[in-house]
Amino acid sequence: MTFDSAKPLVVEIGLGCYFWLALCTLLSGALYPALEVGTACQIPLTLSCDAGLLLGFAGCLAVAQSGGRTFGASSLAGTDRTSGAVVLPFLLACTTSASILLRAGMLFEDAAVPMIAGDVLLGASLAAAGYLWWLAFSGEPPRGAFLRLVRALLGASIAFVALSLMPRGILLLCACLVAPVAMGLGLAAQLPETKASSSKAHPGTGEDKTPLAADVLRSAEVKSALNADAASTGAEAERPAPLPRVLSASIVISVFVADLLLSLFPVSLFSEASPLFAPLTGDPAAAVLGNLTEPAFIAALLIALFSVAALLLEERGRLRLPLVCSVGFFAVAVGFVTFPYHLPGGAPIGIAEAGRVIILVFIIMALLRYYQGCPPQAWLIPLARLACLCALAMAVADVLVMTLYLNPALDLFDFTNRTIFGGVGVLVLVALLLGPMPHVYEVVRRGACHSEAAGNNAENTDEGAESAAAVSLQREELAEAHLDAFASTHRLSPREREILGLISKGRDVPYIEQELVLSKSTVKTHIRHIYEKCEVSSRQALIDLLQSHPGD
């Protein structure tokens, strides 16, 4: 096996190790040296990791705004291919290792200050690593990137359970050495490859189907007078595409409410008696099995089940944003609402933690699809800004929860306060699903290339932006004219022409059903008629014929 053939495996293992470290940070107490020390400094520890996330994302934003010149990261922004694409991931891996050594008490003493410092450093390194993974996937089709992400998440959840059952020394060795090195290798293998191939636009090879609209447009532009305009506005096409306000606000509020509800759980993940583990340990009061607690086990199990279901649905083209979003919000709400009844073993917090991870998967899925087909320069800065806002929202939620528990007398009203804040949080989740979320789905469906970004930035438009919008409109009109000419040549009906346009954009049968409000059998009948009139037998053959059709 050559190194090139092993690269996909190395990348997925590296991404899986990143997710495993994130799950350990969220779900495991094994990375702390002593629970007594952690309990004594619970207030700063509540804020430290989220503060580290904010610092890490702020650093990423500074690098993106500097054009990638900082820390030799110009190769990461796609401007050149220096050694920075290899050095930076391993520098990040070393930082992650050092943060875990500090947090686990393996450097210095089992004291509060090293633990808090390690917590902040770990949050910052995980934030920077997540941003680099985004950059690594920027040249891939969104479907391929999402499938790789879910496969890695499935492997990480299984590895989390398996390693938590092993002695603490093995778990710490993997967290301090194996996982950071694997993460660095995966990033180093992916970043140069993605940047080198991003300009090729991945023309429909492998497991992913690239939408045809860009390919048809490119072939038509060769025969049109837009070539000069396209060349003169190439820099404009790479300008940052701002996120619509409804998408940004919905993401930030979702992260804030999920973090607030989870922070309001007044139980520890690490000391709850577990009826699930009692038969295995022979001790009715057993809180853990190895380093694995019942809430953490339930969270990892639900994440694994979600990953398997997502893989099966996405392979068949049936995974929809509303489904992922609803599942995540439902799990968080159910976990919190059932907690006052105190199900034995802390199961509600495990359900809610899994819901938070699923909400993050929804956010990643939405952003991947919104920015599909856009160059990295179009989303690097907007994504970093959004990440900073989310980290700040999580820190604010932590501060809010800390103020609730600073007063010892508040314990008398603990249930009342938790119910009030939890009820408000659940209502906000429901309001998001019924209010802005339908608009979010529509924004994501249109994508950055076809959204009304010019309308959102009307106050900041200039002649260059207006020129770019005009050229974009001309391109869309040219693509439509090309499709019209093809439909006329092959005598397609108006409905068949409409379906052909959706097929040219990579849409599948379920999407066409919803878009045109037709039954599945009707859509398949129209597609069969299109194949017969064009004398082809498959979608790929139709795409090839459409691309080769001469433009007018």
Query: Which pLDDT does position 150 carry in this prediction?
Result: 93
Predicted confidence band of residue 275 (pLDDT cuts 50, 70, 90) = confident
Predicted confidence band of residue 74 (pLDDT cuts 50, 70, 90) = very low
DSSP assignment of 272-340, as one string? ---TTTHHHHS-TT--EETTEEHHHHHHHHHHHHHHHHHHHHHHTT---HHHHHHHHHHHHHHHHHHGG
List the structure tokens of 431: 């309001």
DSSP assignment of 476-512, as one string? HHHHHHHHHHHHHHTT--HHHHHHHHHHHTT--HHHH
Q: Is the pLDDT of residue 201 over 50?
A: no
* CA-closest candidate to residue 482, choices 413, 547, 411, 543: 547
Q: Is the pLDDT of residue 403 over 90?
A: no
Q: What is the CATH number of domain 212-236+467-548?
A: 1.10.10.10
Q: Which residue has the tokens 């702390």?
A: 32
Query: Which pLDDT does position 425 carry in this prediction?
Result: 82
pLDDT, mean of residues 399-416: 63
The half-sphere exposure of 501 on its side-chain side, counting CA atoms within 13 A, is 17
List the structure tokens of 89: 């991931």
List the structure tokens of 139: 């040249």
Q: Is the pLDDT of residue 505 over 60?
A: yes
pLDDT, mean of residues 515-525: 84
Query: Which residues 6+ apart lie within 8 Å of 435 measured at CB?
Result: none
pLDDT, mean of residues 410-420: 61
Lowest mean per-residue pLDDT among 161-175, 231-245, 356-370, 427-441? 231-245
Q: Is the pLDDT of residue 343 over 70?
A: no
Predicted confidence band of residue 155 (pLDDT cuts 50, 70, 90) = very high
Quick one: how far is CA 157 from the chain centroid?
A: 16
Predicted confidence band of residue 52 (pLDDT cuts 50, 70, 90) = very high
* Cα dihedral 427, 323, 255, 48 in deg (nearest 10): 130
List the structure tokens of 97: 């290792």
Cα–Cα dist 188/89, whole Å: 6
> Which residues on adjacent β-strands are paired with residue 288?
293
Q: What is the mean pLDDT of the chain?
A: 76
* CA-closest candidate to residue 442, choices 247, 194, 218: 247
Predicted confidence band of residue 27 (pLDDT cuts 50, 70, 90) = confident
Q: Tens of pLDDT along 376-400? A: 777 888 999 999 999 999 999 888 8
Higher pLDDT, 326 or 240: 326
Given a contact cutoff of 8 angstroms between Cβ atoms, the answer to whether 475 and 222 are in contact is no
Angle between helices 436-446 and 347-370 (to 10 degrees): 40
Q: Tens of pLDDT along 120-151? A: 999 999 999 999 888 887 767 788 888 889 99
CA angle (520 as vertex; 519, 526 as ends), nearest 5: 95
Q: Domain ranges for the chain, please list them.
A: 1-201, 212-236+467-548, 242-370+407-451
CA angle (253 as vertex; 249, 256 as ends), nearest 5: 145
Query: Which pLDDT does position 35 carry in this prediction?
Result: 56
